[in-house]
Amino acid sequence: MLVDQLQTNPQIPVRAVKHQLESNLEVKIHPQKAFRALQKAKKTLKGDYKDQYGDLRDYVIELRRSNPGSTVKIEVEDCHDPSSSTRVFKRIYICLGACNRGFRAIGRDLLGVDGAFMKEPASGFLLTDVGLDCNNGIYPLAYAIVESECLSSWTWFLELVASDLELNEMSNFTFISDRQKGLISAVAKVFPVAEHRFCLRHIHENMKKNWRGACATATTVPQFERAMAAFKDFSEPAYVYLTKIPPAQWTRSHFSG
Per the structure, the count of domains in the chain is 3
> Does 197 share its domain with 244?
no
> Does 197 share its domain with 130?
yes
Out of 203, 220, 240, pick the residue that ends a domain.
203
> Does 147 share its domain with 163?
yes
> Does 59 share its domain with 146?
yes
Domain containing residue 7: 2-47
> Does 59 share its domain with 105?
yes
Reference 147, options 76, 70, 47; nearest CA is: 76
% of the chain exceeding 90 in pLDDT: 35
Residue 170's alpha-carbon distances to 19, 163, 167, 219, 229, in angstroms, are 64, 13, 8, 55, 49
> Does 240 share its domain with 187?
no
> Does 226 share its domain with 150?
no
Q: How far apart, in whole angstroms, are the C-alpha atoms of residue 150 and residue 148?
A: 6
> Would you say residue 22 has pLDDT above 80?
no
E strand or H helix at 195? strand 195-198
> Does 142 share its domain with 236?
no
Out of 165, 182, 203, pick the residue that ends a domain.
203
- How much helix, strand and coil, in percent to the nearest 5, is found in the chain? 50, 20, 30
User: What pLDDT was estimated at residue 131?
Assistant: 92
> Would you say residue 208 has pLDDT above 70?
no
Mean pLDDT estimate for the chain: 86
